[in-house]
Every structure is written in C-alpha cells, then in structure tokens.
Structure 1
Amino acid sequence: MRVLWLTLLLGSVIWAEEQYFHHSNPTTWDEARQYCQACFKDLTTITCRNVHDLLQKLGNSDFWVGLRRSFNGSIIPWSRWSNGDPVSYQNWYPGHPVPKVETCPLTPNNTSMNSTGAPKANNTEEQCPLVLEILNCLNLTLGELENITGPLVNPTPHSLYSSPLPTVNITSNETQTCDIKAEKYIEDSCLALLSFGMWKEKECNESLPFICYDERFFGEINISNVTKSEGHVNWSQGPGNISNYTVKVTGGHESNVTTMVKILKNLTSGTLYNVQVYPVKCGRHLNPQNISFYTSPSDVYNLTEMNVDDTSVRLSWNHSGNCDFYLITDKDKPDEPNTINTTEIKISNLVPGKEYTFTACAVVNRTTKSVSASVSFFTKPSRVLNLTSADNNCTVISAYWKKPAGNHSSYNICLNEASNSQCENHCQPGNCNQTKVEHFTFTDKTPGMKYCLCVAALTNNSQLSGEMVTIAAYTRPEKVELLNLFPSNQHIFASWTVNGHFKEFLVSIEPAGLIKEDRTPYKNYNFTGLKAGVHYTVKVTTLSEKPDLKSDPVYISDYTKPTPTPWVTAIVLNETSISLTWGVPKESEGASDIKYEVTHHSAYWNSTNSTQQDKNLTFVGLRSGTNYNFSVSVKAGNLTSLPVFASNQTKPYRKTLTFAMLCTSKTPLLCSEGQTQTDTLNELTKNFSKTFLGIHWNLTMVVRK
C-alpha cells in the first residue's frame, strides 16, 4: 500500500529581491551548493513567486536546487531549503518523493475500512488504535502527527501540495501486514527540478546542472573631503568573497581597486559628478552603489574651534549677508578646502598632536571669496601603538611601544600593581615617568605579580596629553625551590617552596599515561594511583595570572618502593636447565619497567650467581643432580624488596661407582653378620651426606663372599 503523506502548514517568508543564475556544468549537489555559497547566496529555493522565472531557462536539462531530504537535522523530510527557508510550495512528480519501504504487523480490529483506508462509520476515539497502527508503519508517533497537521479532526490535504495524497489500503486481518510499496527509495536524496517543471529526488552524488540565487546588493557610498579638485569616495563592503571594486566616474574614467575607498583626483570645481561602484564577485559585477556630488569653493568672523580630539575638530563662525557656501581651508593644505552651507563644520582626518591653522571664507557666485578669518590649535596626540611588555623577567618589566600616528613631543608612562582583574583607573599621576623614547624599564618588581602599564603621548611642550593606553604587564614567576619527593609503594608526595607571587602550579608525573598533569594552588601535591617499584619523574612549574607566562620547570626523579613478588616457581627442565618463573606484584601490574634481581646458589659447588631481569628466565649450564636455591627480589634503583625463595634439583646423570671395602675384625665372623653390614652402610651414609650435601647420590652395599 502507499505511504500516507501528511500536509504541513507553512508560515509566510520574508521576500527579498533575488536574482537567479543557471549553471550548465554538471556537479554533485554538495559541489553545486559549495559553489553557490562561494559566489552567490545559495542554491535556489522554489516558491510560487519565482517558479516561472526559473522554468524559462531550464531547456532540456534537469537542475539541482536547494532542497535535500534531510538537512541540518530536520525531523520532517523535505521541509526546509538549504538556506533555512521553509518549503511553502511543492510540485512533485507523481509518486515522488519515494517513501521508505517498511512492513509491520496489524493487530485485529473489527472496524471496517473502505478502499481509501477510512472508517465506514462511527469514527470515534475507540477506533483510534487503528490509526496508531498506521503511524507505527510510518515510524511516527501520534504527537509527531499532531505537531505536523494539528488536531486529527477531519484532516484534509494541504492546498500547497500539487500532487494528491496517495491512498492507504488496510484490511483488518490478524495475519496480514501493512506494506508501504514505492519505487526505489534513495536514502541520501536531493531535489532535482525537471526540465518540464516538476520535482523529483535523485542521488545527491549524481552530477547535474544547478541554479544559484543571490539577493540584489544595495550598499552605501559616501563622499568626503571635497575640494575644488578632489573627493574621497568610500563605500560599504559587498557580500561574500569580493575580489575587487570597479569604480566608474562621470567622463568615462574607470578603475579597479581592492579597498573600499577611492580618492578621486583632478576634478573640476563646481561640477556635478556621478560615481558608481560595482562590487566584483567571482568575475560578476553586482548592483552598483551610486553617488553624486558637486565640487565647490566663502567672509566670516569669530572663527572658533570646539570639541578638539586627535583627528577632528568642530569649527564654528559667524557670518552676515548672503553666500552660496563657505570655504574652510587648512593652512598646510590650501588646495584641499572643505565646503559647507552652514556656519559650523566638523573637520576630520587631521594629524594627531599637530598644530593647525584653519581659515574660513564665504564664497559668492562660486568664484568670489571673502576676507578669511583664522584660528590655531593643537590636536590631541593619538594613542601609542603596539604597547607591549616583555613579561620575561622575574623582577623587571620592560615596556615597548611604537610611535603614535601624527606628532608628539614625549611620553607619560605609569606602572601600578593591579588591585583587581581589570586594569582600570590604575594610572595615578604620582606613579608616572616621562621619556622621549619608545621604551622604558621598571626594576626591582615582585616576581609573579600583575601590574597595570599605562602610556600616553604628549604634545604642545608636554602640556597636552593624548588618551592613555593601558595593558596588563606581568613579572615572570620564580621557579620552585627545595622540591622534594617522599615515595611509598603507590604514592609520591611532593613539596616545594617558591619566592614571590604565583597563581598556581602545574604538576605532572612521568611515565606519561599513568597520570595526567594537574594544577594546584598549594605548595605540595600527592600523586596517587602509582605503580610500585617504578621510576617516576615529577615536574613542577610556577604559573602566573597570565595564562602563557610561567617559570622554568623543575624536575626531580625517584622510585616508588617495590613490593615482593607474590610467588616464585622453579621447574626442572632437564639435567642442566631449570625454568624460573614468578608473579608480578599486584602493586606493579601494568608497569613496563619493573626489574627483578634473581639469585641462584648451590651449596655443594659453593657457587652463587645474581642477575637483573625484567621477565622470567631459564637457567642453563647447571650441574646435573644438584639442588639449587633461587631468590627473586623486585629491584627499584637502590631499593630492593624482600626476596621470595624457591628451590629444585636438576635431573641427575645416573652413574654407578663401585669401591671395595675389606672388613677385618678380631672377632670371628663379625664381618659376615648382617648387622655389621647395616652399621657400616649407615656410617658411610652419614659421611656421604655431609660430603655430598646438595647433590644427588644413592649408596647401596653389595656383599661379595
């Protein structure tokens, strides 16, 4: 049966003026979208407003557009365009989009269904379980259905869907299943606009032409510093990756620039100029920004400066009579006047810290100038540039900066301890010095301390100060001293001292991987979870308030105390070999560098041999029939655990040695008595036991008559 498609009521979308661009080079959907986002806005959406414009240039090809079955984690398939807009218009090719094929069992139900899957009568809440079975087939919950369609009361297809809803045929039968049958389902599918205007999903990796869209660009453009012969044009940045701007000026002059400002020179005074600036994006000229202006060339009194800062000033004057406009001139730039139609003007782009003399005159008939009034003043020095502190010495702060833009006579530099995390209002005049060079050194400062460093430029014989530039400056913290380790089997306690201030300490222990580095505000740290009998290196670094400013690290190494091996076993292999194995101490499990001191000793041969091993070993070249005693101790530097013992005897080479004894006695027939023979054998055995201790032997008496 066909899957039940649920309608989605979509809200309105804010409409912007859009342009559409058809690209005939086939690419995958992802490649097409990447190109559209780089050179345009995105892959196009389709709405009732633009569908006719898009269809006019389709030709005989299918085109990718900006719709994907599941995009940006959308729960509802085909619900959002790639630019985030909701899908408010659809024109699917019949049978599409193809649903996912699924089957599920239906529980018995006495409700009769007609050919379209709707109940014949009595559609009440008691019959809703059948609807739940349908939703189960569609992998939907009743809540999800209501979120999409609203309350389930007389649901009707949404008018935005051009294709009719397919029917669902369900028969109440305990053994029957509901089948969702469709054409080939594409898991990762993207929308293709067919050449005749309908929609169909296709594999996103298939290569098709594509359609991009872009919103028409409307920017801002400004003209400033207009004189008789010049004008400074600046404009707003174009959208996306703009390679350059084409500037067209009245008279046919055209130029390409990569900045957003153009100084127009060689203009004619009193002339109307039209300027167009076209952003160039991927070789395409966007909508131009347009501006028009006149060049213009005024008798004034009481010329006064107000609101003087580092790069601007506000001039005001009085004037009686008529004039077309006023001409304001910088004495140092007489050929670059400013024009204004009021008796007040703000002049910008001044040189900081410089003495200026401005004149103002009224201009009549665009050619006649009045007697000029003049005013002189100093602009404030600008902020010093790139103020930095070396931050690499424990007791010295070295400040460096670059000259500010414009003019200055000297510098005022201050250094104060920071009382809080912010360096605000910390530049009291009593803690300042003056210098004429762009660097200054403060000595005898506290290690690891945060300071506020402030510098301002001075002008007008050091009477006028510019804005203070303030940064945080730090002395480097001292490295720790008297670093000591106190190891146990599975712990190492470290303690240290340090001079000066600090924020915290960075502590770490190696071998890496056994424990991670950590931070502590205290002058000690207990490393836990260690392995017994392992060589560890502890590193401690002093940290300051500045994240990247720290002392040199201090290292110290030691072994954790070893613990004995839990068992030792000696296994005889043959007449000259014994395999010795032992267990790893529980406290050392997982450690890769545990060493063992292994000793074997033979009492008879009076031989002892020791070796250091990191794993079980086999002793070869031993003497046959000899008892060997073994001991295994865990070795950690100069520390050794208690030994664990084992012993065994190599297999003997069996040989028979015969020696004769002559028995003589004053007592007749004493040598022939059995007790005499037994006593003799016992005495010999006692002597052999003392002599052949630790080797294999067996003594048997053979009596010859």
Structure 2
Amino acid sequence: MAELFLIICALISSYSAAELEYFNQSEILTWDEARSHCQICFKDLATLTPQNTRNITDKVSTDSWIGLRKNFNSTSNSDEDGYSSNSTSNNATNSSILMPWSRWANGDPLTFQNWYPGWPVFKKPPPPRDCCSCSCTCPATTTPRTTTAAYFTDFTTPGVTGSGRVEENTQGDVTNYANSSTDQTMTDVYAFSVYDTTNETLSTDSTNIPKRKAPGFTTSPPTMTSAPPIESECVRSPMLTPDIPDSEDENYIEDSCVAVLSFGAWIEKECSERLPFICYDERFVGEVNVTNVTTTSASLKWPKGPGNISHYRVEVNGQEEPTDRLTNVTFDLEDLTGGNLYSVQVFPVKCERDLNPQKVDFYTTPNKVRNLTAAKMTETSIFLSWDKPDGKADLYVVKWLEEETETSTEGVEVDGLTPGSLYNFTVIAGVKDKSEWSEESRISQYTRPGKVSNLRASENTNTSLWLQWDPPKGNSLSYLVMAVDSDNNDTLVDPKVVEQTKVELTGLPQGTKITLSVRALVGDTLKGAEVTIQSYTSPEPISNLILTPDDHSLSATWNPPQSNYSSFNITLTFNGSVVDTEYDLTKPSETFKDLMSAADYTVTVWAVSGSFKSPPVTKSKFTLPKPPTDLKVTMTEKNKLSFEWDAPSGTASNTYMVNISSSFWGESYPQTVKDQTSHTFDGLRSGTSYKIEVRTDAGGTFSSPVTVSRFTVPETREVSLSMLCSSPEILLCDKKDTRESVLRQLEAFLERELGREVFWELEK
C-alpha cells in the first residue's frame, strides 16, 4: 500500500494577549538542550508567525534552532484524539504522534510554514510487492467473498482551491489527489488502506492513521458481493519475492528539528546537532503596590515574576545603591523624606536577566506646617502665616467652616468673614498630585468686632444713669463701658465689662457733664471701634413724702432737695396705669380728687433741673373704704345661713371682711371674701341667734360694718315641768293669779338663764 502525505498550511492569524519578546542565544546547544534552556530562563523556543518572522530574522546571523520538530516523543497519556491531558508543552509532543510538523514546541498549532525549497524531505514509499499467487484445480463449493473499500468523494477544503479525490489504481492502491493552492490552510494528513472482508489490513502505516475519519469519506463504504464461482478447489502456491532494495533520499532525517536561516527560511537538521537558538518570553507586566505610607517610610508589595525568578532588585530614585537579592515580594522603605516624590522599579531577575521592571511613583506624606499664626485681624478678614514643614510640600490647603482655599505660599489672607466671630482654621500641606496630605495644624482666632450703634443715656439720676446701645453687626461677646468727666477727663467709675447691651452706672457726681464710651469685645483683647456720647447727672431727690387719704381724695406733701432744682413733676398711678400727672409744680404739695374709695394709689415725685429729673420718690396709700349696702339673709337652715350684700359705689376694692358670731355660745367666725358679694356660713348650731357683719377691706383699712341678725332653724324638743304648789293658806294654789305669778317667775328665770340668743318657748 503506497503512502502519500498531503500537508496544507492554513494561515490563521492569531494574536496573543501577552506581548512577546525574542532573545537570540549565541550558546551552541542541541535542540533538546536549547529548548530546556529556553524553558528554564525564558518561556520556550521561538514560535514563528508571519507577524514576527521579520523581527526575528533581522537579528539572526547564522542557522538557529526554533521551536519546531517533526516528532515530539512522549510517554504521557493522551486522550482519544491524541492530545495530552498534561501541560501545554506536552500538547505539542502528543499531537505530533498523529502527524509530523503539526504543533510548535509550546503547543501552538502550525499555522505558518516558510520552508527552504526542497524542505521538508519526506521518506519515499517502497515499490509494491506481490506476496503470493493462486491456482484453481478441482471445482469445489466456495463461500462468496465480499470486499470493502474506502471511497473518497469530491470535497472542498475551506481555504483550498480545487478538490481532492481518491481512486483505486490498477494495482489496488488508493491514490489521493489534491489541487495546489496559493492559500495556506492547515488540513489533516490522511493515510488510506484497503481492507478485505475479513478485516485484515492489506497495507497500512499505523503511525499515520488518524483515529478520526477523514473528510470526504462516506460513512458506510459500499459492499460488493461476487457471484458464486464454479465449484473448484483453490490451492495457494508460494512465489518468490523479488529482491528490491529500499530507496531513501539521502537528505531524509527520521528525527529532525527545524532551524531558521539568516534570511528566514526553514530547514531540517539532526536534533543532536549543536546550533545557536532563539528563545521567546512573554513581556512581564506587573504593578508595585504601595501601602502604609508615612512621612519617612512606605511598604512595597509586588506580584511574583513568571518562571524561575532567582531574586528581585529594587531601585529607588534618590538612593545611591539599589536593594538587591530580595527573595520576598515585599519590602519596607525607610529614612524617606516627607512630601518627596519617589520612583520605584522592581526588577525580577531570571537566569541573571532583568525582566521588565514593575514601576510605581508615589509621594511620602508631608510633615505638618510649623508656627501657624494669625495676625492683621479686621472685621471681615484674618491673615494666616506659617513656616514651611520639614521635607517638601508643593501646596497648602486652608479650611474653615465649610470653606477652603489653596495656596502655594506660606501665608494667605482669609476674607469674607463675619465681624466678631471665632473661626477655627486648619492648614494641611500636600504634594503636587494631591495624593498625600500632612497632619492638620490648627489655630482659632476672632475677627475684630464691629461698632455698636444707637448709644444713648436714660433714667439719669443725681448719681447714676442707664447706658444702652444696639449690638454691632456680626457677633460680640462683651462690651467695655467707660465714663469720664467731660471737663477734666477724670475717670468717674471703674471701666466695666458687661455682656448685655444695657448697663447702669452708679456713683456719679451730681450735676456733672459726663463722656460715656462703649466698645465691643471678643476674645481677651480684641476690641471694636469706640463709640461715645455725653450726658448729665440729675438733681437730688425730694424727701419726706407724706400721703393723706379720705374716701374720695389723696393729698401729697414733700420736702424739696437741698441742691438746685427748677420744678417738680408728680404722677398718680393705680394698678400700674397713670391716673394723673402734674408737671412744673413750684410748691412741694399736690391733692388728687374724685378718686375711688378703698383704692391703692401710688404717688411718684421728681425734682427737675432743666431736662433731667432727680431720682423718683414713690409712696403708695389706700383711700378710705365705704361700707357695703343692703345686707340681707337669703337662706336659713338648722346649721347654715346664707347672705348677700351690695358693693359700695365708687370703690376699687373687691375684698370684704365678713364675720358671724353667737354671744350665747361665745363663738365668732371672721373670714375674708374676695371678688364676690355673697357668702354662706355652715356648721352652725340650730335655733341660735347669729350676728352677721360685712366690712370693706382696703389694704388692711376697714370700713364701718353693715350688720344683720338671724336665727338658725330650731330643732325643737318638748320639756314638761310639773310643779307642786304648797301654801299655808287654804286654796291659795288654786287661785288664777297664783298660777300666773308662778309662770311669770318661771319665764323670767328662763329669760335670765337663756336669754333670747337661743330659741325656747314656754307653753302654759
């Protein structure tokens, strides 16, 4: 059976996500040694593609091994399709069992070929040989034989122009035809065999038979049955095999490896030959993470490098010597400068070769600013200044309330503030990219308070006055008040610091022109602008104010002051309301008429000198009360009496003194009644005569009483008296006059003993 290999390369562009780098190695090694070196120090031997061929061959000056081999010998187990279940490198090894030149060393499929003309060299098939002949003798009954053949129908391979077909030639061989194509598309290589009906393979090459069916074959080859022959006996007789020597191409290499020439073409060489070689590796990309950053230190951590990394080297700008031979993937930087920018490179070292460095730039935390001070306070602004921190700082941020401002200098004026307000300022130093900030430096400062307004003096007396003002715009905590003599600038009273906006100044000299000033204060020393006015003290007060009332008028008299005065003012008030005011009185007396009785009146008198009054002198007095009228009893019971009365006309009092008394029992029950003109006494004795009195109460001064007497309802009991009359005179007791005389004596006795304060009756 003849073998025919068809190799069709499909150009399938594939791009790895990783960036690949290629390294020409001048060391002279066998292909296996070269691959082992590449796998240890790089990724693997180079895999060529249309994209990288030019880049690789530009650096090649002599024949060099690449990662392609005809057959990869392996003892690892493969699945049904012939692919290893092991690593990627094993995939290349096991897949080549199916066909030569099918995979690269790293397991990538062969999608590109660039053979030098005449390469690769295939093994020529041997000529066909007859192994036996048959002769038929006596007929005999035979069993029909069937022959099964594989038929290859027309097919079109994607990417390949033309069709292939398999035909059975006259010698029984199967030939595969395929049109050539300029497109290079990877297809399988098929070997075909012809089987007889006993499933004995007539000719096959087990190394080139795929386990899957080749495209183009029918799933059920036709079965041909021959007609029964004439019965005869077929006897096999051996024939001599012609002696035909095997024919091999002198350039054929059974176990060949591929080398690339300096101009890019491929050739086969014995794998044991020693050549330079080309390795490739994936460009290592990693990132250094920086944590625990302080003003003087930081912690570095990076991912492990690929493959056999022997150690790491850390290079930091600003440090003369790199940190070499690190086996861990962490490192702590010490003795750094606050606020400085550091560039760090971490080089994984593999076979004494630096891989692509992992880089990171970071700032250390700046130190806090020093000597933060506040100065030049105005009502709406404060100037802040500070010293530059140790190390470096690119900018500063000043914060207050919900506001902030940024500056590159060591000072800033903060404006737009509220007068007299306390502000807490925070200053932090930062680096250029604002990734790191220092600790906070703090200071508190007030703005200067504003001026008070509407400053005025009132209630001037001979030794005092009230000073009042409106607060300034913004805020203020307290006020500084001063009073000096306008003529000689002598301080009249000690300066006062008060929190309210009204204050009384006492101990002033009489009749003196005084300069008064007020300044708003915040903090301990920050003062607002001064505001001043001038005022005078008043004359001395009057003395010995005497009030004389009756039931409808009130007279007032007083002694004038010893100092100068021009007149008197007098005011009469009742329940806080002014009833009458008299001005410019020249005499020290005044009478108010047509007043209410039992009313509490207040009289106030001032001495006046110009526009200023003396301290007031005040006294209160009730007018005399009028008695109530029309007192009468409204209800009488055994132990209760109710009564009412009318209030006196023209009186302001609504308070009355009521009293009920019994002379027989010696009892008296006084009570005060307010806001009503009726009352009830309970708990009295039945059949008793009670006297009721009602008086008008004017602040402890009582009017004359109005009275009424009434018995409570008696609870009667009968007492029988038996009298024995004896007389020396016969029949004297039977005389009418005698009986009446006795009864009168009895009644007189009861009258004398009981009186008429309790109820009793004598029935004859």
* TM-score of the superposed pair, with normalisation by structure 2: 0.35
* TM-score of the superposed pair, with normalisation by structure 1: 0.37
Higher radius of gyration, 1 or 2? 2
